[in-house]
Amino acid sequence: MTRAVRVAVNGAAGRMGTALCALLVHDPRFALVYAVVAPDSPRVGTPICGDNARALRCARDWDDAPAVDVVIDFSSPAGLEAALAHCLAGTTALLSGTTGCDAALDARLLAASAHIPVLRAANFSLGVAVLTRLLRDAATALPEWDVEIVEMHHRAKRDAPSGTALALGRAVARGRDMTTETPFVFNREGLTDGRSQGSIGFAVVRGGDVVGEHTALLIAQGERLELVHRATDRSIFARGALHAAHWLSQRAPGAWTLDDTLAKPQVES
Ligand code: NAD
């Protein structure tokens, strides 16, 4: 039997960190050996799960970290920077879902992937990863069809369209080999000149407690193809991250994507 993958969680007291730790302690594929929270967090020194004397306690930094195979980071850009430095020092794999990083940090992460395995995703849902792949293939196969992307989220979501909707739009552009700036259309109101050929339209719906729904429509004369993903539970991101972390623990240095972790169709000769 292969040994459990040793994991450290960065941002362990956050919503994602809490969900990850709750899954990790019951998952025999992993051993949760270290957990980092923000340096000023009231959780520093408190047990990560349970309350017994031997429970793993939250650390404020990486100084006392034991050897780990993968660091899973869902924190902040500053937290990710510290985790990256730790991973580079020990040639440890880094999986990160942290969003809002600036171009300089993006570039440092890319450069680090020459030395350590790095996997980043703005959405760790495996269903969305497959939707992205299906949409790219469909957009390539149907180059003349109009593409519209509709997303629906809970009433408190602030950014619009969602990062995932924009990523779906970029997948269409890649599938169609669009070299110039992708013609994304975000607003239609009043009298318009109609739909410009090759543009990708976005529509946003907000309400209630909707976790997340993305629909990609490919529309032609007399027929329409719809690809839909509905999230009903936020734990999908934690489950997808653990799937990817296990995969990443066996990989060489490189800039990996969630799509890389998914099986590819066998090509018939
Ligand atoms: P959150 O605010 O609940 O948790 C973030 C945690 O990181 C907080 O507890 C904060 O104290 C901690 N933190 C801040 N600075 C830190 C540091 N220097 N070191 C260690 N910890 C630090 O947010 P969340 O919902 O858990 O999301 C965390 C990040 O993951 C955000 O960037 C969010 O956009 C992203 N996210 C990505 C996905 C995905 O699928 N890729 C899904 C959900 C959230």
Closest ligand 1 atom, residue 78 Cα: 18
Closest ligand 1 atom, residue 100 Cα: 32
Q: Are 202 and 169 in contact (CB under 8 A)?
A: yes
The full length of the chain comes to: 269
Cβ(234) – ligand 1 distance below 6 Å:
no
Closest ligand 1 atom, residue 241 Cα: 40
Cβ(123) – ligand 1 distance below 6 Å:
yes
> From CA 116, how far away is CA 92, in angstroms rounded?
6
Cβ(257) – ligand 1 distance below 6 Å:
no
Encode the chain (269 residues) as per-residue pLDDT tens digits: 589 999 999 999 999 999 999 999 999 999 999 999 999 999 999 999 766 667 899 999 999 999 999 999 999 999 999 999 999 999 999 999 998 899 999 999 999 999 999 999 989 999 999 999 999 999 999 999 999 999 999 999 888 999 899 999 999 999 998 876 668 999 999 998 899 999 999 999 999 999 999 999 999 999 999 999 999 998 999 999 999 999 999 999 999 999 999 998 887 76
Q: What is the pLDDT of residue 10?
A: 98
Q: Please give the model's pTM, rounded to 2 decimal places.
A: 0.90
- Catalytic residues, by residue number, are 153, 157
Q: What is the pLDDT of residue 52?
A: 67
Ligand 1 center–CA 194 separation, angstroms: 41
Residue having the nearest C-alpha atom to atom 37 of ligand 1: 97
Q: What is the pLDDT of residue 171?
A: 94
